Amino acid sequence: MEEKDILGTWKEYTLTNNQNMSVSILNYGGIITKIIVPDQNGKKENVVLGYKHYQDYEANPNYFGALIGRVAGRIQGATFTLNGESYSLEKNNGENHQHGGSDGFHQVIWEGQTFQTEDTVGLHLKHRSRDGEGGYPGNLDVMVTYTLTSANQLVINYTAKTDKTTPIALTNHSYFNLSGNLKETVKNHHVAIDSSQFMELDEHLIPTGTLIDVEGTPFDFRAGRILGTGFNHHFGQNKIAGNGYDHYFIFDETKENKVVLKDPTSGRVLVVKTDQPGMVMYTSNGLEEGLRLREADSSKHLGVCFETQGPPASLHHERFPTIVLNAGEVYERRTEFAFGVEE
């Protein structure tokens, strides 16, 4: 366990296990700045996108590694209605609200506390989002716990309570690239997803309320496929997302492993398990070129995000799993990212 001061009030915590894996996290935005894991030859390298200079996280328009809330994703028209009352949010994505707005959880200093057990090391992060903050109702007390196990699992536990009914959909926005130190894009990464349906998007990347069956489309990852097959595909939904993926996949709940990501060159494997109903897979289609990242300059399709969360589209389409947390109830969600190599 290492703790160092960054930019005054910022701290970076580095969790290290006995298997040559480490995870570094800022108290600012709960941002994961790097994840170091070995490849098939034991070579340790970073497998997430992060800035070369810490001060660039202050703006962080791409949300590299950040905790997102109160609601991750886009809220149509920056409005929603709860119990007959309408709420207006900041329009920070065209006419829509995205990732909690400019005062979202990715922009706050969290209260950090480390812990250690016989086979884990971790970090508790706490934050109180006050009633009316960002337009959301209720005082919301949030705790996010990052736990690194001796089996190379990074577990993220989310807990929250509110004193007024409010929507909540928390996630982490890490961009994964298993090639190690950003040697290449994720074009040749192989992905399997336990999902037979995804949400159709309109031209503003807002779910229309229609579910599309993945059968016969570049969105069919049930048996696994190469990510790049959807990057320049004629399929309309890939084009809308900027030649790639930025869609919510609903999990079938047929497999314990919701996502399996593999890089054929490094041999690294990432397995995602979660109790969330689905996730947004984003293949950094909108990532601009030339940002100074830790190991290389940024480019399109340099990383893939697995934003496990409840769907904000449920605020406007009742058929989807709800993200509403009632006063007095407890929000509890868990996502596990397990790293290994192909046998």
Widest CA span in the chain: 59
Beta strands 278-282 and 304-309 are antiparallel
**φ and ψ of 240, to 5 deg:** -55, -35
From the list 47, 65, 280, the residue with the least C-alpha distance to 184 is 47
- CA–CA gap between residue 289 and residue 148 (Å, rounded): 32
Residues facing residue 128 across a β-bridge: 141
Q: Enumerate residues 6+ apart whose C-beta is below 8 A from 252.
A: 194, 195, 196, 222
Per-residue pLDDT for 4 more than 90?
Answer: no
- The chain-wide mean pLDDT, for the chain, equals 97
What's the gap between Cα 38 and its chain centre?
A: 22
195 has a pLDDT exceeding 90:
yes
Query: How confident is the model at residue 214, as a pLDDT?
Result: 98
Q: Could you tell me the pTM of the whole model? A: 0.97
Residues 296-306, mean pLDDT to the nearest whole number = 97
The rounded Cα 63 to chain-centroid distance in angstroms is 9
Q: What is the mean pLDDT of residues 298-312?
A: 98
Contact between residue 105 and residue 99 where contact means Cβ atoms under 8 Å apart: no
Average pLDDT rounded to a whole number, residues 223-239: 93
Report whether pLDDT(253) > 90: no
Per-residue model confidence as pLDDT tens digits over 107-164: 999 999 999 999 999 999 999 999 999 999 999 999 999 999 999 999 999 999 999 9
Res. 8: pLDDT tops 90: no
Q: Is the pLDDT of residue 74 over 80?
A: yes
Residues of the chain with pLDDT > 70, as a percent, come to 100
pLDDT at 193 over 90: yes
Angstrom distances, CA of residue 297 to CA of 49, 63, 174, 175, 294: 10, 16, 17, 14, 8
Q: How far apart are CA 321 and CA 226, in angstroms?
A: 29
Mean pLDDT of 229-255: 94
- Name the residue among 302, 192, 298, 195 with its Cα closest to residue 244: 302
pLDDT at 22: 98
* pLDDT over threshold 90, residue 292: yes
Task: Note the CATH number of domain 2-341.
Answer: 2.70.98.10
Task: Give the β-pairing of 85-88 and 207-213.
Answer: unpaired
Is there a cis peptide before residue 74, judged by omega within 30 degrees of 0?
no
d(CA 314, CA 245): 20
Q: Is the dihedral of CA 154, 51, 181, 301 positive or negative?
A: positive
Residues identified as active-site: 173, 307
User: What is the rounded distance in angstroms from the CA atom of residue 65 to the CA atom of residue 332?
Assistant: 21
**Is pLDDT of 323 > 90?**
yes
| Closest-CA residue to 112 (of 96, 123, 102, 103) | 123
DSSP 238: H
Q: pLDDT value at position 49?
A: 98
- CB-based contact 78:71 (threshold 8 Å): no
Spell out the domain ranges in the chain. 2-341
Q: What pLDDT score does 341 carry?
A: 98
> Alpha-carbon distance 98 to 94, whole Å?
9
Q: How confident is residue 5, by pLDDT bands cut at 50, 70 and 90? A: confident
Q: What is the mean pLDDT of residues 1-28?
A: 93
How would you class 97 by CB atoms within 10 Å of its CB: exposed for 0-12, middle for 13-18, buried for 19 or more?
A: buried
pLDDT score recorded for residue 7: 79
* pLDDT over threshold 90, residue 233: no
Tell me the pLDDT band of 343, cut-offs 50, 70 and 90: confident
